[in-house]
Amino acid sequence: MTIYDVVIVGSGPGGYVCAIRCAQLGLKTALVEKYKTLGGTCLNVGCIPSKTLLDSSEHFYNAKHHFAEHGIELSELKPNLSQMIKRKNTVVSQTCAGIDFLMKKNKIDVYNGIGSFDSPNIVSVKTEKETTKIEGKNIVIATGSKPSTLPGIEIDKKRIITSTEALSLNEIPKHLVVIGGGVIGLELGSVYMRLGAKVSVVEYADSLIPAMDKALGKELQRVLKKQGMEFIMQCKVKEVKNTGKEVVLKAEDKNGKEIQLLGDYCLVCVGRKPFTEGLQLEKAGVKITEKGIIETNEHLQTNVATIYAIGDVVKGPMLAHKAEEEGVFVAETIAGQKPHIHYHLIPGVVYTWPEVSAVGYSEEQLKEKNISYNVGNFPFRALGRARASMDIDGFAKILSDSTTDEVLGVHIIGPRAADLIMEAVVAMEYKASAEDIARMCHPHPTFTEALKEAALDATSKRALHM
């Protein structure tokens, strides 16, 4: 039996990054993955393929709706979904191949098969042909998550689908009904809406992206509605049935009135849940909560000192970059270092267009904590760069402490918000004030000027272009 310093179960962003950092620190490392390709949900059926389709559909949407205004004339424009799926598959294959290369480069042993515990330090890796046992002085659980569903809904993967199936449809839906107005539902709904599908989003809460600042959800709903997306808010889904060539969704609105929707596909996006099935955690003595979350301490150790857990199987947002940070954190902890993660400064992003991003406290959270704050807002339509590119929807919002002026939260909906948010993360990591951002010279014309202007607005309402 081969003995390793660290055995990592799961090769998603948390797992493979943890493996690389362990190897860099001189630890003999093994990575266990049940699928043939590395990369987990993110690379195979999550972040990478969805962003690939989002980019393809965005190009088509712009060609159809905006190119003429730019002086670019096209005729007989039509989407080729099979080519889009083919390109998506190529991007996924190339990205996963990159992870294979990194494993070889860092001399990490990869075991393909279903990993499970035999004991706190022994992992069995089972394939169709054989079972291999390996020993880890330390073991890291990084098995990620899987889509959740609701009572009364059976995912048949044909007409009633999850995000995984939505990434590989062989036709553009005529009417796609999306259950859930969160990140995944809005992103994939955007893909097919841009390609010509009617998209109806059914959301239980009173706001889209309910975990984020409500102003973002309100503006995103306004913009997506303008693009053609339909919203049924504060509605509880009771039942979804596949009748053959269509799906029938029955729901109840906030007043108890029954609503019925007919579509040819129903995409269920009601969150994800930790995936620990088959790990046989009981043999290792690892505790989990009623919701299936693995319990960990501040060092991401489970109740078994030599077993750690990271990513979607532990508490916190289910984000690839959060898992990566935890992977590095655990590797450095095992190596005897003193790493840290500032969870409050992990940004969230929605890759619709316009994009949405946020870091720190929302207005609702500051009110709940009774923290006095200033608000600075600036609309993208006031920027020359935004007008030049015809990306005028959205705004940047900065929340700062009314006494110290320290930046407490930044919320952006607009072009390239996913990239712009990092200015806020860096500023907040160093406890910058709104005045600090306001006094930094931002290049012109750029989208980043929205942050400078929002910072100016947060400090004595002195935005220059509003």
Active centre residues (catalytic) = 444
DSSP string, 135-186: EEEEEEE---EEE---TTB---SSSEE-HHHHTT-SS--SEEEEE--SHHHH
Q: Give the residue carrying structure tokens 């532990």.
A: 314
76 contact partners, CB below 8 Å, separation of at least 6: none
Q: Are 311 and 328 in contact (CB under 8 A)?
A: no
Helix-strand-coil percent breakdown of the chain, rounded to 5? Answer: 35, 25, 40
DSSP string, 22-77: HHHTT--EEEEESSSSSSHHHHHHSHHHHHHHHHHHHHHHHHHHTTTTTT----S-
Backbone phi and psi for residue 184, each to the nearest 5 degrees, phi listed first: -65, -45
Count of beta carbons in the 10 Å neighbourhood of residue 167: 22
Taking the C-alpha atoms of residue 363 and residue 218, their distance in angstroms, rounded to an integer, is: 14
Both tokens of 406, joined, read 């320290």
Preceding peptide of 354 cis, ω within 30° = yes
The one-letter amino acid at 401: D
Q: Are 188 and 267 in contact (CB under 8 A)?
A: yes
Q: Are 181 and 209 in contact (CB under 8 A)?
A: yes
To 10 degrees, the CA torsion angle through 297, 301, 303, 304? -160
**Whole-angstrom Cα Rg for the chain:** 24
Q: Are 450 and 365 in contact (CB under 8 A)?
A: no
Nearest of 457, 348, 355, 344 to residue 408 by alpha carbon = 344
Backbone phi and psi for residue 93, each to the nearest 5 degrees, phi listed first: -60, -45
Question: Taking phi first (over 0 means left), then psi (-120 to 50 degrees means alpha), and beta for anything else, what does residue 341 get?
Answer: beta
Q: Are strands 2-9 and 131-141 parallel, antiparallel or unpaired?
A: parallel
Taking the C-alpha atoms of residue 224 and residue 203, their distance in angstroms, rounded to an integer, is: 14
